[in-house]
Amino acid sequence: MPLKNKHIYTVSEITREIEAVFENTFGNGIWVEGEVSNFKIASSGHFYFSLKDSMAVLNAAMFIRAARELKFKIEDGLKVICFGKIDVYGARGQYQIIVEQIEPKGVGARQLAFEQLKNKLLKEGLFDPIHKKQIPLMPFRVGIVTSSAGAAIRDILGILKKGAPCVDVVIRSARVQGEGAAQEIAQGIEDLNQYKDLDLIIVSRGGGSTEDLWAFNEEVVARAVYNSQIPTLSAVGHQINTSLCDLVADLFVETPTAAAKIIVDKKNRLLADLDGLRHELEFSISGVINALKNNLTALAHALKSPADRLQEKEQLLDELFSSLNQNMRQMLNITQERFSSLIQSLQALSPLAVLSRGYSLSMLLADSAIIKDINQIKIKDKIKTVLSKGAFISRVEEIVN
């Protein structure tokens, strides 16, 4: 065919023509279903992979701006649905889809992310019972990571005040839902681990939807619970689903109320055990004394001692028995009074007891830091003041030295 009067295309012109065709046909973007293969992450953070079905393969690119929004991990073999625009990569003369959104087929992105993280932590052994720490026989000093304004902390403190007032409570306030909540919860657990004399840490929030409770499924929270040197009790108010925080914790219950009741039950069980030991001790001592008395009586008869000597020894034995019983009861009463005094002393140290006597606790609203010195505050600072019943927010108008 003669070339005269014929338009000869350059490679670049062909590429632009093809781009124009794609723009006219798929200009508003399209949804594409396929199976991921050859997935890789470039040093720039961009994702590159292929979408394939039984008949064809389509190259795909997902730039870092869109990739940052992913809640799950893309991997080879995963069936997905992608939205994006068809583009021509001129340098190689290849067409590809620039992915803006991607969803796993048949399962939500969030649920898939949960399952992927759960399997990862399971393989690492974070759920293994061998790593679970024993909950103390009686936790007298408890740290709580939760929202200071939520229903969970009110439920826990109310039950402890009524059923176990001897327990001292340290509250580490943290957001329990929304952006950044998981990081605050994890930091709260780490902060409470600095209190070497804490017996137990409760990680808690009230009920809510799966989305509301999602912070307790984040990896940073699971690892903070696992790394805690202090035994942990997860009390996230869920009804059906079990969170990763539950699975990693040394013990978990379904509600904050149940967590507080565990402590109350431990206190009641300890008192019952002490009372049982007291009765066992009384019975044991009485048995020994009666056995000795019987042995002495038998020995006296065997020696055929005079009647008046036997009566004298029997009277002396009765006096010793009575004196020993009296001393034993006195010792048990003193022990019980000391235990009651210890309980009252611990109750007096409780922050709830201090507040009930008319005192209050003030903290900076911005970071929940407790105010101990006027150098911590400045004019116009907002302050939260906690009373025995409720709390209020105020603003600093004047500082008096």
pLDDT at 150 over 70: yes
Q: What is the pLDDT of residues 168-189, one digit of tens each?
A: 889 898 998 888 899 999 999 9
- Rounded to an integer, what distance in angstroms lies between the CA atom of residue 22 and that of residue 16? 10
- 202 pLDDT tier (thresholds 50, 70, 90): very high
- Rounded to an integer, what distance in angstroms lies between the CA atom of residue 126 and that of residue 221? 12
- Rounded to an integer, what distance in angstroms lies between the CA atom of residue 106 and that of residue 34? 12
The amino acid present at 259, given as its one-letter code, is: A
> Which pLDDT does position 374 carry in this prediction?
84
- 372 pLDDT tier (thresholds 50, 70, 90): confident
Which range, 27-36, 98-107, 218-227, 389-398, is most confident?
218-227
Q: What is the pLDDT of residues 18-75, one digit of tens each?
A: 666 666 666 677 788 888 888 888 888 888 888 888 888 888 888 888 888 777 778 8
> Which pLDDT does position 393 carry in this prediction?
87
> Which pLDDT does position 187 carry in this prediction?
92
- 14 pLDDT tier (thresholds 50, 70, 90): low
Which residue in this structure is represented by tokens 């681990």?
A: 193
Interval 184-210 mean pLDDT: 87
Interval 90-115 mean pLDDT: 72
- Rounded to an integer, what distance in angstroms lies between the CA atom of residue 241 and that of residue 114? 11
pLDDT at 343 over 70: yes
- In order of start, what are the domains of the chain with their CATH numbers? 11-106 (2.40.50.140), 113-257 (3.40.50.2300), 265-349 (1.10.287), 360-395 (no CATH)
Can you name the residues that pair with 386 across neighbouring β-strands? 361, 391
> Which pLDDT does position 371 carry in this prediction?
83
- 330 pLDDT tier (thresholds 50, 70, 90): confident
Which range, 130-144, 238-252, 265-279, is most confident?
130-144
Which range, 107-111, 176-180, 245-249, 339-343, is most confident?
245-249
What's the whole-model pTM score?
0.50
Taking all residues of the chain, what is their mean pLDDT, rounded to a whole number?
A: 81
Which residue in this structure is represented by tokens 């781009």?
A: 19
Residue 200's H or E segment, with its range, is: strand 200-205
399 in Cβ contact with 374 (< 8 Å): yes
> Which pLDDT does position 232 carry in this prediction?
93
- 353 pLDDT tier (thresholds 50, 70, 90): low
Phi and psi of 273, rounded to 5°?
Answer: -65, -40
Q: What is the pLDDT of residues 246-289, one digit of tens each?
A: 999 999 888 888 888 988 888 888 887 787 888 778 888 888 88
The amino acid present at 8, given as its one-letter code, is: I
pLDDT over 70, % of the chain: 84
> Which pLDDT does position 99 carry in this prediction?
85
> Which pLDDT does position 207 carry in this prediction?
75
Phi and psi of 202, rounded to 5°?
Answer: -105, 125
